[in-house]
């Protein structure tokens, strides 16, 4: 099945984006605690959620601009792998949350 992003931006408003070790250490994404510096040990960074992309006050991803991903071509791995049209059990809970949100906003 070919997955296609519906570009609704709902997932970018609902979920935290965990960076991989490589992405985190490359330092090209804004993370929520970057003002405190980089945590050298990635396992420690994951434990204190330092590898999560910065969120705006409303909880949406900092890179969501006018309902679109402003870094689409270089978006993190977790964003590239997630599709709300996926049949993968890995994403079942996330997809259900998206469906609930869509029902609420109509």
Q: Which residues here bind ligand SF4, judged by CB under 6 A?
A: 12, 17, 61, 63-64, 69, 71, 75-76, 79
Distance from C-alpha of 29 to C-alpha of 8, rounded to nearest angstrom:
22
Q: Cβ(64)–Cβ(57) under 8 Å? A: no
Shortest CB 101 distance to ligand SF4, Å: 14
Nearer to ligand SF4, 64 or 95 (CB): 64
CA end-to-end span of the chain: 27
Nearer to ligand SF4, 40 or 73 (CB): 73
Shortest CB 75 distance to ligand SF4, Å: 4
Shortest CB 26 distance to ligand SF4, Å: 14
Distance from C-alpha of 79 to C-alpha of 77, rounded to nearest angstrom:
5
Query: What are the residues facing 69 on neighbouring strands?
Result: 64
């Amino acid at each position: 099945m070919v997955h296609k992003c519906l570009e609704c931006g709902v997932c970018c408003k609902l979920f935290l984006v965990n960076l991989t070790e490589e992405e985190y250490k490359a330092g090209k994404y804004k993370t929520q605690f970057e003002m405190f510096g980089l945590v050298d040990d990635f396992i420690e960074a994951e434990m204190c959620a330092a590898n999560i992309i910065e969120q705006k006050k409303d909880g949406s991803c900092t890179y969501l601009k006018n309902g679109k991903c402003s870094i689409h071509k270089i978006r993190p791995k977790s964003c590239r792998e997630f599709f709300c049209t996926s049949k993968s059990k890995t994403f079942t809970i996330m997809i259900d949350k998206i469906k609930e949100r869509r029902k609420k906003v109509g």
